[in-house]
Structure 1
């Protein structure tokens, strides 16, 4: 069973996914492109599909739903609603707020749209995504307010610090990584680089002492001195500076600010949109494909800001 191509219009989307059966067929093809495989024993033989839409392994008897372990795990909402939400989130270039999604879906409760949106956001990052490669610019910056010269130290009370890593692709930017950092210490910055960039890559940073351990960590480190902190950053690290500036504009323009406990999820969404900016129509398949292999997230985890 193969997945259909991406719908290039709202009319085509409605034709491809008119009902629950079509949505279930798409999820089945996403989870088991080579045919059903029991998550318990790996058995491929399928018994009858029950009225509760459960697939049964003939080898061990375990019953499995196509939504088990996905962002739609144990959902009581129609799959057609989830698919429409995914389509809107994936194709709305600047992003979409929960209030906008509520209006577009026609759901009565804001909390319903908010929960759907946050579950989809948590499915935007593949657990085993490929690290950045080649030449990479790395920087960090505070969200909120205008950056000023902080040569005396990199502390700004109450402002979240974000690590930025972006691939150099000619005169443009390649893939992006963003991560909340506890501080700008060598330990925090080296950890961010290690989890974001492949060992051996060429890493460009400014002259901050927190990056001094990158060469020992296995990277080809190029430190670019600045006359003063934040004075000429856009010339020294133009791609990282542009990414951070665009992030701030996006957070304020689309979401009008974000609570600290949910900030990393919004950073992941920005990365998702940046990395797929040249192929926005593929976002729908990517989003559902990632969601089909993501650990389920509960409402309690979302509201408490838990991973």
Structure 2
């Protein structure tokens, strides 16, 4: 699916019914399960835009998009599928998406951020493990250890799981809310990163404590540079408000490819297992992040 062109993909999902069937398999890969009583048999009600599935035992009715990022959306499944397909490739923004699927900019922006939310949720359930290297990085401006901190400098930690050949198998980039006059990331903050994102048992963690240590020894650094380049080229740079979501998006695609997992199929699964989030919630979350950054809080 990842190798298809956009035209080929749209030919594959040429109707709402085709999308419904595919989404049914993604939501219930082992067959229908009633969310209320776990019964396996259902009646299909087709009097609405999207079918309802009525449990044959308790008669509870559920929709194919309930408890997914698409819940409550009036956007067609064909448009959602096209957006998810394009989001599985690192080259789409809301301005481009709105023209492709013929929606408003607000709808395109919301659809992409809901997809990013699914990516972030998926990432949170996977911890770094085994041989793990962690190093610091700074997005936004070229690092200068002798200058005063700048509001456009956004500090983050890059964690990389490595195999026995020291090849990356999973990466995470987590933004920190850096205090205004601090030009480094403390040991306490690195320990906090380890507690939240690295398996406690059996992991061998190496912290790259020297900022000027050769970058060739930092196995996650090439990915950080690619992420920065992608953000700058695709979105012309972004502020701290939604930077975390864009970093999670980049890492999601990289991790699927490192594990040789088809990105579109994996992303559909993530979208069906992530609960909805509203436009208002996304905006308020962005405002909280920006305010925290201004007063020097961390997360």
> Is contact 1:7-1:13 (8 Å) kept?
no
Match of 2:12 in 1: 16
Note closer, same or farther for the CA distance 1:290–1:43 as it changes in structure 2 (3 Å cut).
same
Q: Structure 1: how far apart are the matches of 2:142 and 2:26?
A: 44
Cα shift at 1:258: 1.6
Match of 1:213 in 2: none
Q: Structure 2: how far apart are the matches of 1:58 and 1:175?
A: 43
| RMSD across aligned positions (CA) | 2.5
Deviations 1:231-278 (A, max 9, x none): x3414x421322322222222111111232211111110101221335
Answering whether residue 167 of structure 2 is matched by residue 166 of structure 1, we say no
1:143-222 alignment, distance < 5 Å: 143-149=139-145, 156-158=149-151, 159-169=153-163, 170=165, 172-183=167-178, 184-199=185-200, 200-207=202-209
Q: Structure 1: how far apart are the matches of 2:99 and 2:11?
A: 22
Give ranges in structure 1 of 5+ residues lacking alignment: 208-225
Between Structure 1 and Structure 2, the one with more helix by share is: 2
Q: Structure 1: how far apart are the matches of 2:144 and 2:258?
A: 33
Count of residue pairs the alignment pairs up: 275
Match of 2:112 in 1: 117
SS of 2:206's equivalent in the other structure is strand
Note closer, same or farther for the CA distance 1:75–1:18 as it changes in structure 2 (3 Å cut).
same
Match of 1:220 in 2: none
> Is contact 2:208-2:218 (8 Å) kept?
no
SS of 2:30's equivalent in the other structure is coil
Cα shift at 1:19: 0.7
Match of 1:211 in 2: none
> Is contact 1:136-1:202 (8 Å) kept?
yes
Q: Structure 2: how far apart are the matches of 1:97 and 1:128?
A: 24
Match of 1:77 in 2: 75
Answering whether residue 273 of structure 2 is matched by residue 293 of structure 1, we say yes
SS of 2:196's equivalent in the other structure is helix
Pick one of 80, 84, 87 that aligns with 2:85.
87
> Is contact 1:168-1:174 (8 Å) kept?
yes
Match of 1:234 in 2: 215
Q: Structure 2: how far apart are the matches of 1:258 and 1:43?
A: 47
Give ranges in structure 2 of 5+ residues lacking alignment: 179-184, 290-299
> Is contact 1:233-1:241 (8 Å) kept?
no
SS of 1:121's equivalent in the other structure is helix
Q: Structure 1: how far apart are the matches of 2:273 and 2:72?
A: 15
Match of 1:61 in 2: 59
> Is contact 2:123-2:248 (8 Å) kept?
no
Cα shift at 1:9: 4.0
SS of 1:104's equivalent in the other structure is helix
Answering whether residue 263 of structure 2 is matched by residue 261 of structure 1, we say no
Match of 2:293 in 1: none
